[in-house]
Amino acid sequence: MSLTKRSTRRRPGRSAVLLLAVCGVAAALTAGPAAAAGQETLHDLASAQGRYFGSATDNPELSDSAYTDTLGSEFGQITPGNSMKWDTTEPQQGRFDFARGDAITGFAQAHGQTVRGHTLVWHSQLPGWVSALPSAQVEAAMVNHITEVAGHYRGSVAAWDVVNEPFNDDGTFRTSPFYDAMGSDYIATALRAAHAADPDARLYINDYNTEGLGAKSDAMYDLVSGLVAEGVPVDGVGFQGHLAVQYGFPGGMRQNLQRFADLGLDVAVTELDVRMQLPAGAAGLATQATYYRDVVEACLGVERCVGITVWDYTDKYSWVPGAFPGQGAANLYDDNLRPKPAYAAVRAALGDDGGGGPAGPGALRARYRSNDSSVSDNQIKPGLQLVNTGGAAVDLSGVTLRYWFTGDNGASSYGTWCDWSPLGCSTLTHRVAAMSSPHTGADHYLEVGFGSGSLAPGTSTGEMQLRLSKTDWSNFDETDDYSHGAGDSYADAPKVTVYVDGELVWGLEP
């Protein structure tokens, strides 16, 4: 993205962003007009819903200008992945080094972003001298660390993860030099020290595997309920959101966030990523997109959910492959900084209506619902919509959509029908084509085209009710079909692909 574009993009002023970050309520923004030619950013979309949308980053990445172009424009909040941790900021007792953290806050200030400080008290990335301290000296060292670090960043960090990862997965307290020296009281002591050092920062406790209802989130709930009751300065709970498609989506995430909000606390998704086994296939990326969408929806469903931070926005700089060998592809953008289906899913969940979006093929997306009452009869009935999310009309004459399925046994020739379309079925073309190299879930596709016409900016074709069968009317098993979904209401469908003049512009082929 060019500097010119960046400087004209819609961005609330720093004070507005800060206000949002600290208020924890959905507030309407009085932002300037969207850049005429620029698509709204993730943060623009989130801001319109009273939230921020942020990304982690790290110092080595700041020399990658393609990376920083997007970091500085698409996101309204950043979190240093490493550079405010104890081993960086106080590698030797009493010797503080803020150079790397300052580079992050400097970047944020230059780009009108807020910063979540991460993290003051954590069992990991702790220099050896802390673990070697006699127990009686740990509290003073911890308070001094918090006082110096939070004091240094006063005014440039909007929120702190004061205590990170205090729990084991079973909900018991994790041992650490702090817990060993002070028991669980170290948490209240740390929060009080942080509040004294920076009374304006929002103070969080942050953990992973607490996104859904369960033993660990119950433990967090009990902890913060007690802190609130005692008047300890805690403002929010961070839910890291390191998810994996192979482990399922956390159960009851919205309800879980809501119960913390009901204590009068802010909640935030602080480190979102969704990993999978490599190599990433279309199915994994499509599932991943639904996880990102569901996290956004959970946050938007809770008024006190102040924002979402992804744990870096690109696979290029993900921590996942290093920590989980054989896994990765966890982020919104791929290794080449190209948006993945999850990016479109997040945009849609944030309410992107395409206003001010770019003209042209990149603005098209397919939506789908199943119109089938039976997945095992002799007809397949996809309902499709084509949406132009952009700011200019799209000529439909070169546009096609593909719905991918398996023919199963029986005839290899097909009949296709359009049962209804507000465009008029006579304006649609449809046919079934066989794939030269079948893939899992697909050996044929239904191709839908438009003889002519154009799709105005921000509009949809409306529902196109399609139907197909084999000429021998033998049955299908649709359950394993690539594009098939069970949903009976329209949703963005990255497994229904869209082409302009034969070039893929939306979705992933099988």
Interface with ligand 9MR by CB under 6 A: which residues? 81-82, 124-125, 164, 208, 240, 271, 319, 323
Closest CB 86 distance from ligand 9MR, rounded Å: 11
Q: How far is CA 85 from CA 81, 314, 380, in A?
A: 8, 22, 55
Instruction: Using the minimum distance from each CB to ligand 9MR, give the nearer residue, 82 or 370.
Output: 82
**How many Å from the N-terminal Cα to the C-terminal Cα in the chain?**
30
Q: Three-class SS string for 314-356? A: EHHHCCHHHHCCCEECCCCECCCCCECHHHHHHHHHCCCCCCC
Closest CB 77 distance from ligand 9MR, rounded Å: 16
Catalytic residue among 40, 74, 211, 271: 271
Instruction: Using the minimum distance from each CB to ligand 9MR, give the nearer residue, 55 or 385.
Output: 55
Closest CB 317 distance from ligand 9MR, rounded Å: 9
Closest CB 124 distance from ligand 9MR, rounded Å: 5
Burial class (CB in 10 A: 0-12, 13-18, 19+), 194: buried
**360 by DSSP, 3-state: which?**
coil
90 given a catalytic annotation: no
Report which of 301, 306, 168, 143 is spatially closest to residue 237, judged by C-alpha positions.
306
Q: What is the dihedral of CA 129, 135, 137, 140, to 10 degrees?
A: 100
Instruction: Using the minimum distance from each CB to ligand 9MR, give the nearer residue, 89 or 483.
Output: 89
**Which sign does the torsion angle of CA 339, 433, 381, 464 carry?**
positive
Instruction: Using the minimum distance from each CB to ligand 9MR, give the nearer residue, 52 or 122.
Output: 122
Catalytic residue among 40, 74, 139, 165: 165
**Which sign does the torsion angle of CA 243, 249, 254, 255 carry?**
negative
Closest CB 164 distance from ligand 9MR, rounded Å: 6
Instruction: List the 442-450 sheet strands across, edge first.
Output: 428-439, 442-450, 399-405, 496-500, 503-506
DSSP conformation letters of 100-158:
HHHHHHHHHHHTT-EEEEEEEE-SSS--HHHHHS-HHHHHHHHHHHHHHHHHHTTTT-S
Instruction: Using the minimum distance from each CB to ligand 9MR, give the nearer residue, 270 or 483.
Output: 270
Instruction: Using the minimum distance from each CB to ligand 9MR, give the nearer residue, 33 or 128.
Output: 128
* Residue pointed to by tokens 């850049």: 35
Closest CB 125 distance from ligand 9MR, rounded Å: 6
Q: 308 and 362 in contact (C-beta within 8 Å)?
A: no
303 given a catalytic annotation: no
Q: 468 and 416 in contact (C-beta within 8 Å)?
A: yes
Closest CB 253 distance from ligand 9MR, rounded Å: 18
Q: 463 and 383 in contact (C-beta within 8 Å)?
A: yes
Instruction: Using the minimum distance from each CB to ligand 9MR, give the nearer residue, 209 or 497.
Output: 209
DSSP 427: G
DSSP 428: E
Active site residues: 165, 271
